[in-house]
Amino acid sequence: EAGVTQFPSHSVIEKGQTVTLRCDPISGHDNLYWYRRVMGKEIKFLLHFVKESKQDESGMPNNRFLAERTGGTYSTLKVQPAELEDSGVYFCASSLRDRGAYEQYFGPGTRLTVT
């Protein structure tokens, strides 16, 4: 069974540009989460989808970040316009509908560098 995949693995963009990160969860997983780690800090929750619905977006830093999960399969996280402080590693995780509290499977992350 394929794990959580994320694309791209690395992205280097200039301040003010737009970047879109993609996450493909494990097939059949209704729950999808976005987290990020900025330099020197702990991993922080961004938001949680149940299928295509946003269940909790309390961790989204500001309105420059837009997450979507059309059709309840893969998800995208768009940053527009990117700022220097957005640099970090963005992780996606997924879990089965009833196992979200106990098992979250993480992808390898996308390393975003904003210059």
Q: What's the CA gap between 64 and 102, in Å, rounded?
A: 31
Instruction: Give the interface with another protein as residue ranges (CB under 8 A).
Output: 4, 31, 33, 35, 42-45, 48, 55-56, 58-59, 91, 93, 95, 100-109
Minimum distance between the CB of residue 19 and another protein, rounded to whole angstroms? 19
- Residue 5 burial (CB count, 10 A): 15
Q: In this complex, which beta carbon is closest to another protein, that of residue 14 or of residue 56?
A: 56
Q: To the nearest whole angstrom, how small is the minimum distance from the Cβ of residue 46 to another protein?
A: 9
- Hey, how many other C-beta atoms are within 10 angstroms of the C-beta on 92? 28
CA angle 16, 20, 21 (to 5 degrees): 130
CB of 58 to another protein, least distance (A): 7
